[in-house]
Amino acid sequence: MYGYDEPMYLISVVAKILSIHPQTLRQYEREGLIEPGRTDGKMRLYSQRDIDKIKTILRLTRDLGVNLAGVDIILRLKDRLDDQDREIEEMKVIIEKLKNNQPSKSIAKKQSSYEVIIFEKH
């Protein structure tokens, strides 16, 4: 079984899955929006996380009309929020340990997701 972050999909497969042109994926990479893995032969390989991130980029550009510069800003802000959420969770664990004066038995951590809530105009 492959992991969420393990690069395994060729550019042609990802393009077909998402119904986009491979050149679109190359453009996203040039813009710094995605960073696919590479084989020793320099072929691009995409992980499931990459695919989910590309889906978010497509939602932002197609459904909300955000340009790629705006997408870059949104994704950077989202990454910062994810980092802060992780820090908050870590602090909660530390506080809980201090309160109980013992290590926590189980910890549920929030995973990063590339889901965007789209509001419809009424």
Q: pLDDT by residue (tens digit) across 4-15?
A: 888 899 999 999
Q: Cα(60)–Cα(46) distance, rounded to whole angstroms?
A: 20
Q: Look at domain 9-100 and name its CATH class.
A: mainly alpha
**CB-CB contact of 4 with 48 (8 Å):** yes
Can you list the alpha helix ranges (DSSP code H) found in 2-117? 11-18, 22-30, 48-58, 68-100
Q: Where are the domains of the chain?
A: 9-100
Q: pLDDT by residue (tens digit) across 73-115?
A: 999 999 999 999 999 999 999 998 888 886 555 555 555 555 5
